[in-house]
Amino acid sequence: MPREHILVIEDEEDVLELVRYNLAREGYTVGCAESGEAGLELARREHPDLIVLDLMLPGLDGLEVCRLLKADPLTEDISVVMLTARGEEADIVTGLEMGADDYLPKPFSPRVLLARIKAVLRRRSRALPDPGDVLKLHGMVIDPVRHKVSVGGRDIDLTHTEFRILHFLASRPGWVFTRYQIIDAVHGETHAVLDRSVDVQIAGLRKKLGEAGKYIETVRGVGYRFRET
């Protein structure tokens, strides 16, 4: 049984109760807050492993809560899964760039929410591969030292940027990254690259990877993700 502590910040009582009930049944201990202010206070006091954070809150909204959590050394390491409404893609992007781990659009099934929470907690406990480690997944072998990629034993010729994007995404399977986060990881902050150029790079990368290109998934309105194994 899991022992993690989860805080749910949600002003809609029925959603709060649905989430609380399902998490408790799964063995998590659960704290609840119905406003951003109360949620922040509980987060500082109880230091949960993960926060389920509704974005649309009266008063201090979810994005502001996320920003404050990530700005405070006491709470910056707490994982955040955002609950979002239709049409909030821009807010999802902002939340991810602030450091939220994942998001789930409403309405959602408790089963899917539990799966997302488990995945985020699993990634949290799993260390990232060392920068020099050879990655092997989905029949792909990615060697960052020799800068080589093969799919099913066949070598693939990639540009420097394509390689770095692939290596960045494949090091973190299951994570959704915004275009800005990808640019930042691949070029560093000083390099001015337009969002669209990430799309062009990914399109080229997928084409060269052939059948394996499908493992780089487009997350509509948000960014890209490497499929989890």
Query: Given the rule CB under 5 A, which of 11-19, 91-99, 184-192, 210-218 is the region that contacts Ca ion?
Result: 11-19
Q: What is the size of the binding site for Ca ion (CB under 5 A)?
A: 3
3-state helix, strand, coil in the chain (%, to 5): 45, 20, 35
For residue 131, the one-letter residue type is: P
Task: Candidates 56, 104, 137, 193: give the one binding Ca ion (CB under 5 A).
Answer: 56
Residues 191 and 150: their CA atoms lie apart, in Å, by: 28
Least distance between Ca ion and beta carbon 10 (Å): 6
Residues 141 and 54: their CA atoms lie apart, in Å, by: 39
Assess 54 for contact with Ca ion (CB under 5 A). yes
Assess 4 for contact with Ca ion (CB under 5 A). no
Q: What is the DSSP letter of 192?
A: -
Task: Candidates 6, 8, 11, 50: give the one binding Ca ion (CB under 5 A).
Answer: 11
Query: Given the rule CB under 5 A, which of 49-57, 102-110, 166-174, 178-186 is the region that contacts Ca ion?
Result: 49-57
Q: Collapse the DSSP code of 48 into the 3-class scheme (helix H, G, I; strand E, B; otherwise coil) and give the result.
A: coil
Omega before residue 105 within 30° of 0, cis: no
Nearer Cβ to Ca ion (69/209): 69
User: Where along the sequence are the contacts to Ca ion (CB under 5 A)?
Assistant: 11, 54, 56
